[in-house]
């Protein structure tokens, strides 16, 4: 048994949950926040037998897009007279995926 943890863009989360559920994968959706952008994203927990991990990753690949997002960094200006917010572009996703061994899987 493996646990696939997928951090995805909020805009892809609904379709991804639909696709996974349609294929009868069990999914738990958690609201999460990225440490760098401090913006909302979605974390999905998907517990599957090892042989299904590749299929789950394919579904994620097919559903999640990369996006350009913008944040600002404080940069010193002049002779240290002040700071100005400099925009920086970052590419987010499609998805950040962790695959973890599950030692035990119980439903009580
Ligand atoms: P955030 O931490 O908000 O990061 C959003 C995007 O900002 C990242 O996209 C990456 O392109 C950029 N970024 C992150 N840290 C950076 C840094 N120190 N310097 C410059 N740019 C940086 P992704 O890599 O696609 O990550 C999307 C989200 O996945 C992240 O949101 C975070 O919530 C999660 N994530 C990514 N790597 C992770 C990791 N190693 N462990 C846990 N969560 C992770």
For 32-57, the pLDDT digits (tens) are 999 999 999 999 999 999 999 999 99
Interval between CA 80 and ligand 1 midpoint (Å): 30
DSSP three-state, residue 40: strand
- CA torsion through residues 72, 31, 28, 18, sign: negative
pLDDT, averaged across the chain: 94
Which residue has better confidence, 56 or 80? 56
90 Cα nearest atom in ligand 1: 11
Task: List the one residue out of 24, 60, 30, 32 whose CA is nearest residue 45.
Answer: 30
Q: Residue 25's pLDDT is what?
A: 98
Q: Of ligand 1's atoms, which has the minimum distance to the CA of residue 37?
A: 3
The percentage of residues in the chain with a pLDDT greater than 70, rounded to a whole number, is 95
Q: Which of 58-62, 66-70, 79-83 has the lowest mean pLDDT?
A: 79-83
Q: Give the residues across from 7 on adjacent strands.
A: 43, 96
pLDDT range class, residue 78, cuts 50, 70, 90: low
Q: Which two tokens stand for residue 35?
A: 């440490």
Q: What's the CA gap between 104 and 70, in Å, rounded?
A: 41
In whole angstroms, what is the distance from residue 15 CA to residue 32 CA? 17
């Amino acid at each position: 048994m493996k646990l696939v943890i997928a951090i995805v863009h909020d805009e892809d989360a609904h379709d991804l949950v639909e696709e996974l559920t349609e294929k009868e994968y069990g999914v738990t959706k958690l609201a999460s926040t990225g440490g760098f952008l401090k913006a909302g994203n979605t974390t999905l927990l998907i517990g599957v037998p090892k042989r299904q991990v590749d299929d789950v990753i394919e579904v994620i690949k097919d559903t999640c897009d990369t996006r350009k997002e913008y944040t600002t960094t404080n940069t010193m200006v002049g002779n240290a007279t002040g700071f100005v917010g400099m925009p920086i572009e970052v590419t987010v996703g499609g998805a950040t995926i962790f695959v973890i061994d599950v030692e035990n899987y119980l439903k009580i």
